[in-house]
């Protein structure tokens, strides 16, 4: 049991369900709500919701009785309701909208494996979830059983990982990995653990939020065998932090699984500094470390949830310094087109000179930090880490510029463009005059 207590709710419609059924995740999965008729038993649908629920081809709807019970039935703007009951706004198109806004499928060497960063991969293991978030970034595949991953896909994913030693971190996602049959998940984790270069495994799951009763002793006993294992949950609003969730995170923590949280910034749900402050403070009480706050993606169906990016900056301004550092997530825009997560935050560095920098704190207090005058620069020639560094060709980025791997990063076709269609001539003849000499460990040695 969790050392902290929160509210526990059950909608009046479910009050006669025996506890052993209510607390059985299989019952929760089998009794999910998905139609006008179902929802009208627990709350009064708005015309916009009814219209959406009757739209053919709508992104899948399914909500556990547990999660629907967290909704205040008298509040049409309830923040939980908006996350899982569709409204007419869902079918609106908007500028910049895409089906696969993060270009994940383009970055997949095999189906369901997104390899975007040098040392880690995202592995999609199912398209099924316990309930379906209306702003789902993977609505193109999620919820659709015909899109789910086959045995052959799993084999190809594992084969790719075996042959790609640079991958040291595998992030299981989907869909929701914790909706997999326990035996299937266990087999998957064992197969990953057999690959020696995979150091850590992470799971991204909203099951503890949609269906905390799934976190049984049996599940944590199984997960515990695959350490080091990390888990990120997905809580967007303080109303989702119930006694049941607190008990679930307590069990996971006791099994030695470090817990993080990823939220999505959603208009009308959590686009408020005060809601976010309450959320992150409650999260650390249930031993969940806020990890990321995401800007809502440019994905079909999510238009009415989008806020300006400046809303996220305002939220971080209201958290950093105002509350525990542990409670402050990194706010990120996941780059459209597939650039990965880009952190965005307020500016704390105001100005600088050759020996001083000017900083401001969260209160607006402006201070100076005097730089050292006698800094003995770190010497890569005598540093064993620098000598044995692993170079990731093509992905060292701006850090690679600083590290002396190269002096510039050029846009594609930069050379051709600047050739201006001219012919080869005496000043342009191939030579070393464009080779940088002044950077990196070999600097000045003339190669
Ligand atoms: C988010 C993400 C990861 C993990 O990123 P971290 O910043 O390490 O949490 C890895 N791969 C893909 C494709 C992702 O979207």
Q: What is the pLDDT of residues 34-46, one digit of tens each?
A: 999 999 999 999 9
From 168, 259, 340, mutation site for ligand 1 pocket: most ligand atoms within 8 A of C-beta: 340
User: What's the whole-model pTM score?
Assistant: 0.94
Catalytic-residue membership of 430: no
Ligand 1 centroid to Cα of residue 122, in Å, is: 7
Catalytic residue among 82, 120, 277, 282: 120
- Cβ atoms of 223 and 193 within 8 Å: the answer is no
Residue with tokens 């990965």: 340
The CATH class for the domain spanning 105-343 reads alpha beta
Percentage of the residues of the chain whose pLDDT score is greater than 90: 83
Quick one: pLDDT band at residue 441, thresholds 50, 70, 90?
low
Q: Provide the angle, in degrees to the nearest 10, between the axes of the packed helices 151-162 and 182-193.
A: 20
Q: Is the pLDDT of residue 429 over 90?
A: no
> 202 CB under 6 A from ligand 1?
no
> 117 CB under 6 A from ligand 1?
yes
- For residues 383 and 403, give the distance between their C-alpha atoms in angstroms, rounded to a whole number: 13
- DSSP letter for 343, please: E
Helix/strand/coil (H/E/C) assignment for every residue in 150-179:
CHHHHHHHHHHHHCCCCCCEEEEECCCHHH
Name the percent of the chain in helix, strand, coil, to the closest 5. 35, 15, 50
- For residues 61 and 33, give the distance between their C-alpha atoms in angstroms, rounded to a whole number: 8
- CA distances for 35 relative to 55, 88, 301, angstroms: 11, 15, 18
pLDDT tens for residues 212-257? 999 999 999 999 999 999 999 999 999 999 999 999 999 999 999 9
Catalytic residue among 133, 135, 282, 332: 133
Domain locations in the chain as residue ranges = 12-85, 105-343, 348-375, 378-419
Catalytic-residue membership of 386: no
CA atoms within 13 A on the CB side of 378: 9
pLDDT for res 239: 98
> 139 CB under 6 A from ligand 1?
no
> 341 CB under 6 A from ligand 1?
yes
């Amino acid at each position: 049991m969790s050392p902290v207590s929160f509210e526990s709710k059950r909608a009046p419609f479910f009050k006669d369900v025996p506890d052993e059924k209510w607390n059985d995740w299989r019952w929760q999965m089998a009794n999910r709500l998905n139609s006008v008729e179902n929802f009208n038993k627990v709350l009064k649908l708005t015309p916009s919701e009814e219209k959406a629920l009757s739209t053919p081809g709508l992104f899948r709807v399914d909500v556990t009785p547990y999660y629907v019970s967290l909704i205040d039935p008298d509040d049409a703007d309830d923040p939980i309701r908006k996350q899982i009951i569709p409204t007419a706004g869902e079918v609106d198109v908007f500028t910049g909208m895409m089906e696969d806004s993060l270009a994940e499928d383009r970055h997949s060497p095999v189906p369901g494996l997104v390899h975007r960063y040098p040392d880690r991969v995202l592995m999609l293991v199912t398209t099924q979830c316990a309930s379906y978030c209306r702003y789902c970034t993977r609505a193109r595949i999620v919820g659709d059983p015909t899109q789910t991953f086959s045995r052959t896909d799993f084999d190809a994913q594992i084969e790719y990982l075996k042959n790609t030693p640079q991958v040291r971190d595998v992030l299981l996602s989907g869909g929701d990995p914790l909706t997999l049959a326990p035996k299937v998940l266990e087999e998957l984790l064992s197969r990953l653990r057999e690959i020696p270069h995979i150091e850590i495994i992470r799971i991204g799951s909203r099951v503890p939020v949609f269906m905390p009763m799934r976190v049984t002793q049996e599940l944590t006993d199984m997960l515990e065998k695959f350490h080091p294992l990390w888990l990120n949950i997905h809580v967007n609003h303080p109303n989702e932090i119930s006694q049941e969730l607190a008990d679930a995170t307590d069990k996971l923590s006791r099994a030695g699984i470090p817990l993080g949280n990823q939220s999505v910034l959603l208009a009308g749900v959590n686009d408020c500094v005060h809601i976010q402050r309450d959320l992150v403070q409650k999260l650390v009480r249930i031993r969940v470390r806020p990890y990321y706050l995401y800007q809502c993606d440019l994905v079909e169906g999510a238009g009415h949830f989008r806020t300006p990016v400046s809303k996220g900056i305002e939220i971080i301004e209201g958290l950093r310094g105002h509350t525990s550092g542990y409670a402050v997530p990194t706010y990120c825009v996941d780059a459209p087109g597939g650039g990965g997560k880009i952190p965005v935050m307020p500016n704390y560095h105001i100005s600088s000179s050759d020996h001083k920098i000017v900083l401001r704190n969260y209160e607006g207090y402006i201070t100076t930090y005097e730089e050292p005058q006698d800094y003995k620069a770190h010497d890569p020639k005598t540093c064993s880490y620098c000598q044995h560094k692993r170079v990731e060709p093509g992905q060292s980025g701006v850090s690679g510029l600083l590290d002396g791997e190269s002096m510039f990063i050029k846009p594609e076709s930069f050379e051709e463009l600047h050739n201006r269609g001219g012919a080869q001539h005496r000043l342009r003849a191939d030579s070393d005059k464009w080779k940088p000499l002044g950077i990196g460990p070999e600097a000045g040695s003339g190669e």
